[in-house]
Homo-oligomer: A and B are copies of this chain.
Amino acid sequence: MRATVMYAAGDVRVETVPDATIEDPTDAVVRVTRASICGSDLWPYATMEPSETGQSMGHEAIGVVEEIGAEVGQVRRGDLVVMPFAFSDGTCEFCRHGLHTACVHVGFFGNNGENGAQAEALRVPYADGTLYKLPVSADDALLPSLLTLSDVMGTGHHAAMCAGVGPGKIAAVVGDGAVGLCGVIAAKRLGAEQIIILGRHEDRTTLARELGATEVVAERGEQAVSRVKELTGGHGAHSVLECVGLDQSEATAIQITRPGGKVGRVGVPQSASMPNSQTAFYANVTISGGPAPVRAYIDELLPDVLEGRIEPGRVLDRTVGLDDVPDGYQAMADRNALKVMVTP
């Protein structure tokens, strides 16, 4: 079968690899009908040390179950499923509490040797706990939005939940990438009264306004902080969604949170230490977040997608076939595309 393999920074290839097969009785093999390239794939694309074996890429997918192991009982051959970016057993104490990304058997597709979804097919460990059957057909027009439930929409929702967004709250979203835009959707969906997006890409902030942002702050650093304070009666936002992960954006997120407010962070942190943490302390600002348990959120988000109340698929602004995945990486790295969908 064909699959995407990264060998070094900037070196992504689509190659013929051994077919995905059942290895454990809890596995399924899923034939991918839609995949996508994630902002987090751009980190290795920028920095990966050369590797002879390479890393199979991709962690966002919708597909059809092609084969199941002997112990798989919740999904069947022919089911159309969405695949969260992490696999999880669905039964451990962390899964039972809705934190599937801390599952005792957790693994991340397209990372650390796990097979990836930018491929014709892939092996899905713990299929029963991981895959979510979709009540639509494989050519449904909703597929782009449903695909975002595998990562970016659930991740934006996690940021909003961790930041305590709710009716009447002022939310600020740091970052205008796909996750930030999904954060805007999530903040609106949860009832935020005011939604400020911090971003400087005009096409993206324009889309953010269409998705629910009430104000755009294009400044950075101290100027961004001042501008958000001006827009929020001098005190900052109740709920700040940190959707970037750079030191600068983490620092800004803390500075624009009002005393007693919350930062929900979903951008993978650039550094081991968090800047401005002392500032957070003096203002009793809570810092929460991490890898989103998107599997847990599908139940809640799916009806809104199916009934058209949210349209997170709008963040997918380009579609490529499998052979053109390398062009998709480059387009995202060049910021010519916001987020690329793949149709293997």
Q: Taking beta carbons and an 8 Å cutoff, which residues of A are in contact with B?
A: 94, 97, 99, 101-102, 162, 259-260, 265, 268-269, 271-291, 293
Contact = CB atoms under 8 A, between A and B. Distances in A.
A277 B274 contact: yes
The oligomer's copy count stands at 2
B277 A273 contact: yes
A102 B290 contact: no
A283 B102 contact: yes
Given A286-B286, A287-B288, 20 more contacts: A99-B259, A99-B284, A102-B260, A268-B281, A269-B278, A272-B276, A272-B277, A272-B278, A273-B273, A273-B275, A273-B277, A277-B277, A280-B287, A281-B289, A282-B290, A283-B290, A284-B290, A285-B290, A286-B288, A287-B287
Q: Is the interface of A mostly helix, strand, loop or mixed?
A: mixed
A165 to B, nearest CB: 15
Nearest to A93: B235
B162 A260 contact: no
Contacts of A260: 94, 97, 99, 102
A259 B94 contact: yes
A31 to B, nearest CB: 31
A43 to B, nearest CB: 14
Given A94-B259, A259-B102, A260-B102, A282 B273 contact: no
A276 B260 CA distance: 22
A286 B287 contact: yes
Contacts of A273: 273-278
Contacts of A291: 281-282, 284
Nearest to A269: B278
Contact of A162 (B276, B282, B283, B286): B286
6 contacts: A265-B281, A272-B278, A273-B275, A273-B276, A277-B287, A281-B290
A154 to B, nearest CB: 13
Contacts of A286: 162, 286-288
A196 to B, nearest CB: 19
A270 to B, nearest CB: 9
4 shortest interchain CB distances as A-B pairs? A102-B259, A274-B277, A284-B290, A273-B273
A306 to B, nearest CB: 28
A268 B282 CA distance: 8
Contacts of A283: 102, 290
Contact of A102 (B268, B274, B284, B288): B284
Contact of A278 (B102, B271, B277): B271
Most buried by B among A278, A279, A281, A285: A281
A277 B162 CA distance: 16
Contacts of A281: 265, 268-269, 289-291
